Amino acid sequence: MKKLSVERKTLAGEAYHYLYQQIITLKYKPGQMIYENDIAKELGISRTPVREAIHLLASEEFLAIKPQKGIQVQYISKKKVQESYRVRESLEVTAFKEVASNWEQGHDTYELAKKELLKIIAEQRFAAEHDYVDDFYQYDEVFHDKVLDICGNQTLSAIVRQVRGHVNRMRYLEFFETREMDRIIDDHDQLVSLLEKRNVKEVETLLVTHLRNVSNYYDDIMRKYPDYFNTQY
């Protein structure tokens, strides 16, 4: 019985990850109806783990369960995006500053961390050169996650990962529309250098600018994709 429970939990996690990525990368458009049976067939699993994943995404306000109709992908809320950005910025700045203040050049842990961060940037550069927007977006997430992992504050990391979900659809649209991938890569390169130099103040300044850049495109994106947004909130 325990084995069955663990297996179902794993399948639910896989279903959650799949649905989350479909929503964030706008494969499932805001307002689109999706159906439990179709998703289960597509993933080759039973409806139970799919249902669990759907309920979790509904609790996070990415999906809305419509009785007798199906499941609707929630519209993007500009207010929710702005609120989530503020929380993410505050916590992520704290994490990056802590990493900068604790960085020890020559220490095995930090030397390995630097190699991993530079490898992620190299993958981002490759994605940018080939205009692989989905891959570029994924590596952007991985870069920030890696710094959160180096910080070692699991509670902070968990909260950041949770709140930034509502930012990510807007962030994906920014990548898709602006193609400012070189700027983002340059920011990441500079952040690694500043972390290594333990330049806490400059890390904060650059990270805040880096995270806030998407707000410059809110109005343009909303004008281009009016059907994606909930105009009520």
Residue 150 CB partners (closer than 8 Å, separation 6+):
99, 110, 113
Tokens of 5: 């429970």
Sheet with 63-66: strands ordered across: 33-34, 70-73, 63-66
Question: What's residue 231's pLDDT?
Answer: 65
pLDDT at residue 178, rounded to an integer:
85
Are the C-beta atoms of residues 163 and 88 closer than 8 Å to each other? yes
pLDDT digits (tens, 9 = 90+) for 42-84: 999 999 999 999 999 999 999 999 988 889 999 999 888 889 9
- The two most distant CA atoms of the chain are separated, in Å, by 61
Q: Residue 22: CA atoms inside 13 Å, Cβ hemisphere, count?
A: 21
pLDDT score at 233: 62
Long-range CB contact pairs, 107-112, < 8 A, 24+: 110/150, 110/196
Q: How confident is the model at residue 9, as a pLDDT?
A: 59
Is pLDDT above 60 for 30? yes
Give residue 6's pLDDT. Answer: 41
Predicted pLDDT of residue 202: 98
Is the per-residue pLDDT at 4 higher than 50? no
**Residue of higher predicted confidence among 90 and 178:** 90
User: How many angstroms separate the CA atoms of 99 and 104, rounded?
Assistant: 10
Better pLDDT: 165 or 41: 41
Q: What percent of the chain has pLDDT over 70?
A: 95
Terminal Cα distance for the chain, rounded: 45
**pTM as predicted:** 0.85
Q: Is the pLDDT of residue 220 over 60?
A: yes
Q: Residue 135 CB: number of other CB atoms within 10 A?
A: 15
The pLDDT value given to residue 23: 95
Q: At what angle do helices 78-102 and 200-212 cross, to 10 degrees?
A: 160
Which has the closest alpha carbon to 172: 127, 136, 129, 118? 136
- CA pair distance 7, 1, nearest whole angstrom: 10
Q: What pLDDT digit, counting tens, does each position of 144-171 carry? A: 999 999 999 999 999 998 888 888 898 8
Using the predicted structure, report yes or no on whether residue 197 has a pLDDT greater than 90.
Answer: yes
The strand pair at 33-34 and 70-73 is best described as: antiparallel
What's the rounded Cα separation, in Å, for the pair 128 and 71? 34
Cα–Cα distance, 233 to 77 (Å, whole number): 6
Bridge partners of residue 70, in order along the sequence: 66
Q: How much helix, strand and coil, in percent to the nearest 5, is found in the chain?
A: 75, 5, 20
Q: With 90 as the cut, is the pLDDT of residue 5 above it?
A: no
Confidence of residue 196 (pLDDT cuts 50, 70, 90): very high
CB 100 within 8 A of CB 199: yes
